[in-house]
Chain A
Amino acid sequence: MKALEYDTVVIGGGPAGVAAAIKATELGLKTVLVENRDLLGGIPLQCVHPGFGLHYFKEDLTGTQFIARLLDKLEKLGVERLLKAHVHSIEYLDYNNKVVNVITSKGVVKIFAKTIIYAAGARERHLFEIGVVGDRPDGIYTAGEAQTLVDIYGIMPGKEIVIIGSGDVGLIMARRFTLEGAKVKAVIEILQYPGGLMRNVLQCLNDFNIPLLLGHTAVKVVGKKRVEKVVVAKVDENLKPIEGTEFEIPCDTVILSAGLRPYLGVLEKLGISIDPTTGGPVVNEYLETSIPGIFVAGNALVINDLVDYVVEQGELAAEGAKVFIENNGIPTKNWKLFEKGRNIRLVVPHYVSGERDVIVYARVAYPERNVYVEIPEIGLKLFNYGVRPAQMIRLRLRKDMFSKLGADVNKILLEVKPR
């Protein structure tokens, strides 16, 4: 067993972790990046469609092109990395000392660090979480698994496909399956609006006449060895199946696209505070969790719809680590808690200082047209043509906007109001 010492350990080699490792190195921190696969890049490696980088690189890139640019930068900086390395646990020794226990092919490695940036991404929700009962034969995949099969390995999961849930990856894969010669029989969505972006509904489903069944649910999967059919029903306003509306869709493959949850693993065992609305840790504006010196970024923090935001969070967390190390802890004394007002489902970060510019990410609870996004305490009022749950709201709040706030204010409200 050998011991290593760093300013920061970045856990996870996807876009958030790679961006964090680049930024931390640029800021002069001694950094190591830990990844459990044998290659860096994470999910964008299998995203062959464009729409990446419009904000960050001001260019329309595919996921594969986007991540290649980041990895080239990482390579140039010569950031240390540990591949095929599984993080077994984190030990919190004291304010400035943490240990990350990593299992590698050469044995267990103990990494000592002042700070940790956790960027292990998300996991996909599975059948048991969305209440689909029935058989569990071959032929059931999550959308991400199917994407790995098709777009990395060139293997099709089946010929006649039903997609449960209308998240973006499911929509993207509906088009990929169709182009590769499979028949996508339907996309089933329990809500009255699609889970993914409208542009994907248009160019992935409508372009190929793939039916999107809104207000429907998959009641059960049927099949002995292989999937044979899915039983589908209409739902009422409480999202319960309406008796007598059931019908069957014969198919050999079921793809699940029912959303993502932050993957917290070793952080949960440490006992960090978790926000039930994001499924990720509670953080301040430096993206520091409730445990001092442990930061979190990307989909492990909150499910993002743009990789650009994921990268931004990686960089913010690296800046946070730098401030932590320089000041022997984050220096802010008075935090203001974000309160979720009308039509706000989640907001990140949870605490802001008002001492510096801050970027806020939020999601609405339901779609609404012609609204204002408001933070009354600082006089922010932004018009929006239409807000949708699938589309993250990103706000940049400047330091000077907080100047009229009294020092005793410890809460600020974020809300969406009709025009």
Chain B
Amino acid sequence: MSSELELTCIMCPASCTLKVTVEGNKVVKVEGNQCPLGAEFAKTEISNPVRYVMSVVKVKGGDLPTVSVITRKPVPKNCIWQVMEALAKVEVEAPVEIEDVILRDICGTDIIATRRVKRVLRE
């Protein structure tokens, strides 16, 4: 038994509307994508949907009070809250460089910094 469903591709801002044919939980046909990423997206979205998780964490002694962070790889959708809860407990010390690892090995990936925070001395 195969069934058809519509998905919006989130791989880039083009936001292609995909017509996806599914047998069981296997994707057998993808239409409407303008690039190969669309077919790839449909496959993972049906079998194991993943998302990047981004947030900010507190920084001590920096020129900005927070540093922005992201998962190095997209994580399974059901891991989003696990990542957020772990991040809520984290506080780092300035300076922070882009790509610095903020939290290691969570949901199969690392959390890395995406903003530079310089060290400043305050009284």
Contact = CB atoms under 8 A, between A and B. Distances in A.
Nearest to B84: A179
B16 interface: yes
Contacts of A45: 115
A325 interface: no
Contacts of A89: none
Contact of B80 (A152, A179, A201): A179
Contact of A197 (B13, B52, B63): B13
Contacts of A399: none
Nearest to B34: A385
A229 to B, nearest CB: 28
B21 interface: no
A319 to B, nearest CB: 25
B44 interface: no
Interface in A292-311: 305-306
Nearest to B32: A385
Contacts of A199: 8-13, 15
Contact of A49 (B54, B63, B77): B54
Interface residues of B, number: 33
Contacts of B69: 48
Judged by DSSP, the binding face of B is loop
Task: Give the contact-size bracket for chain A.
Answer: 20 to 34
A311 B43 CA distance: 34
Main secondary structure of the interface of A (DSSP, over half): mixed
Contacts of A133: none
B116 interface: yes
Nearest to A369: B17
A50 interface: yes
Given A202-B8, A305-B13, A386-B17, A152 B64 contact: yes
Nearest to A151: B56
A50 B70 contact: yes
A388 B13 CA distance: 12
Contacts of B64: 152
A6 B119 CA distance: 34
Interface stretch (A25-33, A60-68, A343-351): A60-68
Interface string B62-105: 01111011100000010010001000000000000010000000
A62 B54 contact: yes
Contact of A153 (B52, B55, B65, B114): B65
Nearest to A153: B65
Given A65-B98, A198-B15, A50 B52 contact: yes
Given A151-B56, A202-B10, A203-B51, 4 more contacts: A48-B55, A48-B115, A199-B15, A385-B34
Nearest first, the 7 closest Cβ-Cβ pairs linking A and B are A198-B15, A48-B68, A199-B10, A64-B115, A154-B66, A62-B114, A199-B15
13 contacts: A48-B68, A48-B69, A51-B12, A64-B98, A64-B114, A151-B66, A154-B56, A198-B8, A198-B17, A199-B10, A199-B11, A199-B13, A202-B8
